Amino acid sequence: MARILITSALPYINGVKHLGNLVGSILPSCAYARFMRQRGHEVMFLCATDEHGTPAEIAAAKAGVPVEAYCAEMFEVQKKLCEGFGISWDWFGRSSSAQNRALTQHLAGELDKAGLISEVEERQFYSPTDGRFLPDRYVEGACPNCGYARARGDQCENCTKLLDPTDLLDPHSAISGAKDLEIRATKHLYLRQSAMRERLRAWISSKQDWSNLVSSIARKWLDDGDGLQDRSITRDLKWGVPVRKGDQPWPGMEGKVFYVWFDAPIEYIASAAEWAEARGLPDSAWRRWWRTDEGAADVRYVQFMGKDNVPFHTINFPATIMGSGEPWKLVDLIKGFNWLNYDGGKFSTSQGRGVFMDQALEVLPDSDVWRWTLLSNAPEGSDSDFTWGILQTALNKDLADVLGNFVSRVTKFSAAKFGETLPEGGAPGPLEAELTEALDKALTAYAAHWEAVEIRKAASELRAIWSLGNDYLQRAAPWSSFKTDPALAAQTVRVGVNLARLYAILSAPFIPEASGKILRALNLPEEETLKAWPADAASALTALPAGHAFAVPENLFRKMEDSGREALEARFSGVAA
């Protein structure tokens, strides 16, 4: 038994996430965690909301509530939605927790002791009307290059020219529209990443099993332009972790907070501390997952994220951890995902384009359908497309026809001919031998794909395993043999129902609801059965003996008609209301 630490990129607090966010980190991390638990490993699967920063403050202001209340509410909304998708984390925390505040301040203090923090005076736009400093992208004005009136301070989206906010003509606040902007000097702390460049490079180079996507993004940051730059870790905001050196004040930094990119990944660790506190466990219970000197040396740590998050997990956060000089667990495998596009275009939170998590469950409440569709089409190798046609195919063909119909035909036939207990008689023959051989190969491949975190390949192998069942039934044809040799048909039926049990176990990482339905129909205890991962096909096909009572389950999946698909396509075309 191994110990597996799993984290999903933290969803930002300001609103409901779309399917692209879901498939890029939360969903695959959940499926992977479920697989590892079923294999008998000890799993700690953590996630949290990322709550600090300017967008949260602005979203709260727009909603007319204090930012703390806004975050508390959105945390509950996001938590419920994820639970609706069957997300199986051990703890879903909040980056605004007391634990994260303390740990962030502590790590900043350690970095300072190590000489890795520098103070830099910079000049930023300040808006007296808004009462805040404005990040570049919250300053708008006319583009000096093309004249576009609503260029943002970081880039003109019309001519794509990169800008400095001071370049803008007629600059004003994107929040209030105020024009009385002034440039103020302000002092900030920088993490001296440049000093850790070679250490980071050596660490990154040692990771041979990272994907091309992840490695190349990491290398780019090390070597782009003048190489790895130091990076500001503080902001002039109210909503965030107050800047302190451990538990001591930080002279000159009064009233400032840590920049959200700095405290958010630290929440991976802090969320484990939240978990321990919520369960009344001692600190050692969570530190054995995170401190290599307190038991975490044998932990395997896998992170899931979209490609936009890769720099933070390959460069910035490791720099924080390594720089502290303390023995915190570093990530072993980073699983990065590309983008999921919506019908050829981009999912967009700001434009309301695509399908959001709340809408998805509203129009199609069976979360297994979403899990299977999204995971079996996950954007692993390249950006990939979500369309309603793909969902319809995944539901109708894979889930309903290949898996659902298999369970249906085998249980119904058995019940009709032999009653609702597994019949006796017959003995395995050549067909069973062939099935066993094919299944053994497939089981090995399936588990290997999960071990390598190859989600699409695992899905494809699972589908092939489902198909083996139909192939077997087709050739064994118990509906024919029953007329002449009922014992032979009984043998086929026993194998068939055992296949249904096996499918429930193998499929659970993808479709936990359907797995539960199968196991309940087969009168099997869900939790123990899921952990009975098959050692080999032969034992899996004889797990349920003659005499075992079962029931015919309701159809596992209901298909989507073309008219239903068309209605969804129409509803979600272009920009949502």
**236 to 265, contacts with RNA by CB under 7 A?**
259-261, 264
Which residues 6+ apart lie within 8 Å of 451 measured at CB? Answer: none
* Closer residue to RNA, CB minimum distance, 110 or 343: 343
Most distant pair of Cα atoms in the chain: their distance: 93
> Site map for RNA, 400-439, x if CB under 7 A?
xxx-xx-xxxx-xx--x-----------------------
Backbone angles phi, psi at 248, to 5 degrees: -105, 150
* Closer residue to RNA, CB minimum distance, 356 or 413: 413
Q: Answer whether 490's CB lies under 8 Å from 508's CB.
A: no
Q: Count the residues of the shown chain that bind RNA, applying the rule CB under 7 A.
A: 85
Stretch that binds RNA, among 22-30, 72-80, 477-485, 528-536 (CB under 7 A): 477-485
Distance CA 381, CA 336 (A): 10
Smallest distance from the beta carbon of 220 to RNA, in angstroms?
4
Residues 508-567 that bind RNA (CB under 7 A): 555-559
Q: Kindly state the helix (H) or strand (E) to which residue 373 belongs, with its residue range.
A: helix 367-376
* Closer residue to RNA, CB minimum distance, 53 or 512: 53
Residues 2-31 that bind RNA (CB under 7 A): 12
What are the helix (H) ranges across 312-350?
Answer: 317-324
What are the start-end ranges of the E strands in 236-383? 244-245, 248-249, 257-258, 299-306, 333-337, 340-342, 345-346
Distance CA 89, CA 9 (A): 12
Query: Does the footprint of RNA cover residue 290 (CB under 7 A)?
Result: no
* Closer residue to RNA, CB minimum distance, 88 or 186: 186
337 Ramachandran zone, left/alpha/beta (phi>0; psi -120 to 50) = beta
Stretch that binds RNA, among 98-106, 247-255, 380-388, 421-429 (CB under 7 A): 380-388
Among 18, 19, 26, 50, binds RNA (CB under 7 A): 50
Pairing mode, strands 299-306 and 333-337: parallel
Among 40, 66, 149, 160, binds RNA (CB under 7 A): 160
Query: Does the footprint of RNA cover residue 220 (CB under 7 A)?
Result: yes
Residues 331-370 that bind RNA (CB under 7 A): 338-339, 346
Distance CA 492, CA 425 (A): 10
Among 55, 84, 486, 516, binds RNA (CB under 7 A): 55
Query: Does the footprint of RNA cover residue 124 (CB under 7 A)?
Result: yes
Query: Does the footprint of RNA cover residue 481 (CB under 7 A)?
Result: no
Which residues 6+ apart lie within 8 Å of 58 measured at CB? Answer: 14, 138, 175
Among 88, 145, 232, 481, binds RNA (CB under 7 A): 232
Residues 58-117 that bind RNA (CB under 7 A): none
